Amino acid sequence: MAEAEAEPLGPFEIQPQPMTVQEIAAIGGKEVLERYIRRADDSGGGALDVCFPVLGVPIIDLQLLASSSSTAINHGITGEFLDTEQEVARQFFALRSEEKKKYTREIGSIEGYGNDMILSENQTIDWTPDLVLGVKPHADGSAITMLLQDKEVEGLQVLKDDQWFNVPVVPQALLINVGDQVEIMTNGIFKSPLHRVVTNTERERITLAVICSPHPDQEIQPVEDLINETNPRLYCCDVDAPHGATEIKTRRSHQ
């Protein structure tokens, strides 16, 4: 097929370009051009000649996220649900020891009742905080741990700058603890804190913990983009090697 011949371009008018605001200002123009005038039906908000309230824009200090523990509120879990969870836990621990032992944790399992053994129903322990710790100093081997702490009774302590600090109770907030795996993945930017729980001679304390971890077969290592000349790799990818996940956990719990 023969190619269509291009139509010769006829004379065309050059449309005058509207002046920019800067050009108008430069020649001292005072009149507001029609196209800049806000019409009554322009969307949003009503009159412009009023005092506007200041919007509270939250400031997120990202540095705080790098601190080892943080408290999450407005997490969307209802207070009623959290109270029920805590009540169920309380009821379970109030059962007779032989009942609880039916749910004893099996060797190698992470599910089930029991940690340090109760030797007899009549066993008494002096819970004086100087003598007995509720939970020994450790860092969590998880990626993150979420703790629903007892609403009234403190006990959790975190080691910072060689000093133990009490973690305050914030009812129905979730305490998010960075675990060893996130410490490794962030190449040490987020630190997995050493923590422990002290006992209370007067009052019972119940904390619920949700432990979040990748699959045990999932090899973890620092994110490559976080490693550079100024931030060299702090952890190897092989968990059996020095500074691997296993090592960091044991090193910390023996400190």
Ligand X SMILES: O=C(O)CCC(=O)C(=O)O
The stretch near Fe ion (CB under 5 A) out of 103-111, 123-131, 135-143, 230-238 is 135-143
Q: Minimal distance in Å, beta carbon 221 to Fe ion?
A: 23
Minimum distance between the CB of residue 55 and ligand X, rounded to whole angstroms? 37
Using CB under 5 A as the binding rule, whether residue 183 contacts Fe ion is answered as: no
- Is the Cβ–Cβ distance between 143 and 179 less than 8 Å? yes
d(CA 234, CA 60): 27
Contacting residues toward ligand X, per CB under 6 A = 135, 140, 145, 147, 149, 156, 195, 197, 207, 209
Residue with Cβ nearer ligand X (71 or 207): 207
Q: Please, are residues 245 and 239 in contact by the beta-carbon 8 Å criterion?
A: yes
Q: Which is nearer to ligand X, 175 or 185 (CB)?
A: 175
Strand segments (E) across the chain: 69-72, 133-138, 144-148, 156-160, 163-166, 174-178, 195-198, 208-212
220 CB-near residues (< 8 Å, 6+ apart): 181, 184, 185, 214, 237, 245
Q: At its nearest, how many Å lie between ligand X and the CB of residue 138? A: 7
252 binds, among ligand X, Fe ion, none (CB under 5 to 8 A by kind): none
CA atoms of 220 and 235, how far apart (whole Å)? 10
If the CB atoms of residues 156 and 239 are measured against ligand X, the closer one turns out to be: 156
Given Fe ion, ligand X, none, residue 147, with its beta carbon under 5 to 8 Å by kind, binds: ligand X
194 interacts with, out of Fe ion, ligand X, none, CB within 5 to 8 A per kind: none
For the chain, the distance separating the N- and C-terminal CA atoms, rounded to the nearest angstrom, is 87
Contact 194, 255 (CB under 8 A): yes
The least CB distance from residue 249 to ligand X, in Å, is 12
Nearer to Fe ion, 112 or 137 (CB): 137
Distance CA 139, CA 158 (A): 10
For residue 156, the partner it binds in Fe ion, ligand X, none, with Cβ less than 5 to 8 A by kind, is ligand X
H/E element, 24: helix 21-26
Binds Fe ion by CB under 5 A, chosen from 140, 150, 180, 183: 140
Which residues would be at the binding site for Fe ion (CB under 5 A)? 140
